[in-house]
A and B are shown apart, each in its own frame.
Chain A
């Protein structure tokens, strides 16, 4: 009997070993440990044993059951883990396939530049002023020290609608309008972005419509050195920390003294390349101290107040910064062009 139990144990353990799935294992459990199983069968013959042997044999039989049971349990865990693994293996995906695209758009490059400049100056205490694109001759020219007979008016041939109304040729009339609203009281600190129009034929470098952004500060004791310091900050922010600026005397009717501002070439760092025409410098904006006539015409006492103004063409900045070769790209809106400006640098 004892041998039979050992035999059964051996048989069962071999069967467990061979089982390859949970179903086979369950059959082994039923066949060896079930009520009609061989161990029960063996124990039925216990009546023939002596009183001393009976408990021993009972204990042995339980031991065999426990061993078989433990082995089944162990095997079952193994098979279950394998099954899970197999399931996961069958679910494997190709992670190198592309993801589901999220279609997004982005700012037009001109807006991108404008907002960057706006944000810089907002941080320095400026507000953003806007004004009409169809302007009175007075604000576009006369209030900016450009009377009707002024020779500089030739330089900016304009789209007139009537003798007194035109498409603004610069964003400066916004400055004149803002100063007028201030009623002779400073400080005025504004940045004025907007579309402007000139009577030019469209080609790679000219556009009858383009964007400007101008800045104006009017307060007591504004100095030319303040203009220089402000523009240095601006150049570094927009074109990189290593940039230097260079001021050159120039002429604009609405400023005196007037300043043309060059930035050290951001492509070659100043050694000379085709972008900077081998000079190491790139002309980026015009500026100057607000002409006393402009202050007076806008209601400011030029003895008490002084100011500086600066302005630049947004297309030019974008073309320089991003290496764009044709100004018309900004207005044809080719999606292949527009989508290149999504990256946040």
Chain B
């Protein structure tokens, strides 16, 4: 809502308060003033001029040579390029020395050999937006009505000597979509009186009901419809001051009839519609839901197809307006209109909202109905409108109104105790102060001991419960005056759950291991949604996506991380290591919430280590990433329970991928991205993993127990084996561990050879075994006994041949 400071003064005395001060006060009491615009900022020296002579410029087809009286001793010659300039017009002249927007200074000039002493201005040259300029002047200069005085300040005449407060209204404060509503608000803030318009209308003896009968079929959508009839109207431009106020409020002037309806919309917040009575073609207004497929051409010349959700005003058969949204072209007020039917109605918010949404038509009217108009202002607004129509359109107002009124307006009455107000706010306000605040708001109150009973005016439909009253008290008492305290009562322990702590541990560990945390989008394309999914279900699709790229919920994080890697590699960040924790979404069917599983995924490419001036470089490989995961599982106390099994996963390198099993349950996979995928994304070798974090965290971990530090030495024995190339180390290790029993404390591979000295199809693999007894020093014989057992088992179970 754009609020004119000058106009507001008609209702509230603003003396002693500048527009900026007013803006600050309004903001601090609840309605954010988003800006204060000085309309004539950077403008000066523009006066009313009278074009005495006009002839074509001798040397230019498109220029006019004008002699203009600007109220000085002698008229001046001005060259003007506007197509509509003509002799006898009153126009805005930027005189020599004037300044126009953009610091454009007007100087004496010669145009094609002819002297020009100033400039005749269009409204856009005076800083008015093109869409606000009446159509007849949008392509040329503005022509003033003849009663203006030559030499007067043209900007003043156009109401540009004003400042506009732009209110950012929240959904509940529809009451301030009107000058009167703002006046009440400002009156309460400043504790000053509010003066309301008091329309005085002279009517003729003919009755409105002789001209029209109202029928409303859809009474819930339209509980109140008032029609007034005005005869012998002369359609003409509206008064300059009215046009100025409309433009300042963001509404384009049309003609006096339409402008008056818009003016009342701004003043009362009540949208009105003027029909050309003769073009309605009947003596009946019927308000009903539209028929499915019914059509109407609205004032913007668009043909709209309606459904039974939409409310229409009809002449008994044809729709003549889309109720509360826009009028129909068939009944539009035009230059030749003489009889006007003026509609002032209460349309239900949701109905208007639906129509406005379905047709993509948000009008000044619809936004007010949506937020709810004041039912008690419907008639008052109509009264004020016919007063202005009589004054400025020469109309004769018919007696009475045609009306359907099924609206039952019961004012809201709320009682509240002083104790409750102070208890909720933490304040110590007195009953007098509270009563004073409601008086300022012009809410009728009665005080009984410490209980205050408030009758809420219908203009404040947002106030329905005690808490709403508390807010009114608080905001006018001043939020600054509320003290600062902390909650009292029993204290509660604050903590992270074990799950949340583990998630933090995982993040810190991975970051310590060199990975950056990434955060990517949950929405992705159809193609990527199911790639690399640990578990596949029907993808979850948005009903109305904004683009195909963000149309489905992800089932895996890896595709998103590959995008991150690709983005970075394309920008010379050749080495990338990132991880992400976040949900993937598994559908449970329509209307059921999906399973959201928190996953952990990572991706690395490029160099793992780089020692630049010594020339060392280590590329990442499978075992770098596996080492990171092993460290992670060690951190989580699960390293003994995790197994890596060679696997084939779509999109992954078939020979370099393993699935991970935790206590026998599949929890994810790790490996190299398939070379064809790498090529598509323009990546070098890239390794990824994805785990179900929830499954990992759900695994029980034995409580931490101290194990005594060995007091006895351990004995190490190495074995080198020749096995089939396909035989995997993990399998041999399991055999060793099983056979080694309690005394075998540790076993690990320390050498692997698959070179030319080997028989084809074989490889050599060496393990280091550590034997240890916490109770005593092991003897050689004891170790040999166990070790022999191990060797036998390995030979028998893995077909290995002992080497050397």
A residues whose Cβ falls under 8 Å from a Cβ of B: 97-98, 100-101, 103-108, 110-111, 115, 118, 121-128, 132-136, 149-152, 154-155, 159-162, 164-165, 167, 187, 189, 195, 197, 199, 201, 208-209, 217, 219-226, 228-230, 232-233, 246-251, 253, 256-260, 289, 291-292, 306, 330-336, 338-339
Asked, given contacts A133-B596, A249-B29, whether A197 binds B518 with beta carbons under 8 Å apart, the answer is no
Give Cα A167 to B122, complex, Å: 50
Task: Tell me the minimal C-beta distance from A197 to chain B in angstroms.
Answer: 7
User: Are A336 and B573 closer than 8 Å at their CB atoms?
Assistant: yes
Docked Cα-Cα span, A339 to B514, in Å, equals 11
A133-B522, A199-B546, A306-B424 given as contacts; is B492 within 8 A of A125 (CB)? Answer: yes
- Docked CA distance A220–B424 (Å): 11
The answer to whether A225 and B485 touch across the interface, beta carbons within 8 angstroms, is yes
Interface string of B480-506 (1 = CB under 8 A from A): 101111111111111111001000100
Q: Give the chain A neighbours of B520 by CB distance below 8 A.
A: 331, 333
* A126 & B542 in contact (Cβ 8 Å cutoff): no
> Which 9 A-B residue pairs are closest in the complex by CB-CB distance?
A225-B426, A223-B426, A249-B30, A257-B471, A251-B170, A247-B479, A249-B475, A105-B516, A229-B484
Contact, CB under 8 Å: B517 / A189: no
Q: Which of B507-551 contact A (CB under 8 A)?
A: 507, 510-523, 540-546, 550
Q: How far, in angstroms, from A103 to B583 measured CA to CA in the complex?
A: 27
Asked if A105 contacts B514 (CB within 8 A), the reply is: yes
Which residues of chain B come closer than 8 Å to A132, judged between CB atoms?
A: 593, 596
Interface residues on B, range: 35 or more
Residue among A125, A220, A222, A333 with the most chain B CB within 10 A? A333
Q: List 19 A-B contacts (CB under 8 A).
A: A98-B613, A104-B514, A125-B494, A134-B585, A150-B171, A209-B523, A221-B488, A224-B425, A224-B482, A225-B427, A228-B479, A228-B483, A249-B475, A253-B171, A256-B471, A306-B424, A333-B519, A333-B564, A336-B573
Which residues on A sit within 8 Å (CB–CB) of B507?
107, 111
Bound: A221/B475 CA distance, A: 21
State A169–B516 Cα separation when bound (angstroms).
27
Q: A189-B492, A209-B523 are in contact. Are A225 and B482 (CB under 8 A)?
A: yes
In the complex, which residue of chain A has the Cβ closest to the Cβ of B356? A154
Q: Is B474's CB under 8 angstroms from A151's CB?
A: no
With contacts A162-B591, A228-B482, A335-B516 known, is A256 near B170, CB below 8 A? no
Mark the stretch among B403-411, B604-612, B747-755 that contacts chain A.
B604-612
Q: Which residues from A are CB-within-8-Å of B609?
A: 103
CA distance A223 to B479 in the complex (A): 13
What 1/0 mask marks residues of chain B from 359 to 386 whose CB sits below 8 Å from any chain A CB?
Answer: 0000000000011000000000000000
Contacts of B468 in A (CB 8 A): 256
B571 contacts A127, CB within 8 Å? no
Q: Are A225 and B518 in contact (CB under 8 A)?
A: no
Specify which of B357, B500, B521, B545 is in contact with A209 (CB 8 Å cutoff): B521
Report if A338-B30 is in contact (Cβ < 8 Å); known contacts: A98-B612, A230-B486. no
CA distance A63 to B736 in the complex (A): 74
Min Cβ gap A88→B in Å is 22
Residue-wise, chain B 415-436 has the 8 Å CB interface mask toward A (1 for contact) of: 0000000011111000000000
Specify the chain A residue showing the minimal Cβ separation from B370.
A151
Q: Are A195 and B542 in contact (CB under 8 A)?
A: no
With A136-B593, A256-B465 as known contacts, state yes or no: A224 contacts B424, CB within 8 Å: yes
In chain A, what residue has the closest Cβ to B170?
A251
Q: Which of A201, A217, A226 touches B485 (beta carbons < 8 Å)?
A: A226
Determine how close the nearest CB of chain A comes to the CB of B750; give it in whole angstroms.
25
Q: Are B171 and A152 in contact (CB under 8 A)?
A: yes
Given contacts A103-B577, A151-B370, A228-B482, contact A338 B518 (CB under 8 A): yes
**Is B107 an interface position by the 8 A CB rule?**
no
Question: How many Å lie between the Cα of A219 and that of B423 in the bound state?
Answer: 13
| Bound-state Cα–Cα, A92 to B585, Å | 60
Is the beta-carbon distance between B471 and A124 smaller than 8 angstroms?
no
Complex contact B519–A108 (CB within 8 A): yes
Query: Most B CB atoms within 10 A — which of A128, A225, A335?
Result: A335
A107 to B470, CA, bound (A): 43
Contact B493 A125 (CB under 8 A): yes
- Which residues of the other chain, B, contact A331 by a CB distance below 8 angstroms? 519-521
**B28 part of interface (Cβ distance < 8 Å):** yes
Is A108's CB under 8 angstroms from B518's CB? yes
Interface pair B514/A257, CB less than 8 Å apart: no
Contact with A along B332-346 (1 / 0, CB 8 A): 000000000000000
- Answer whether A187 and B571 are a contact pair too, CB < 8 Å, given A232-B484, A257-B471: no
Minimal Cβ-Cβ distance residue in A for B27: A248
Residues A224 and B510 in contact, CB atoms below 8 Å apart = no
Among residues of B, the one whose C-beta sits closest to the C-beta of A232 is B484
| Bound Cα distance from A205 to B416, whole angstroms | 43
Q: Contact between B522 and A197 (Cβ–Cβ < 8 Å)?
A: yes
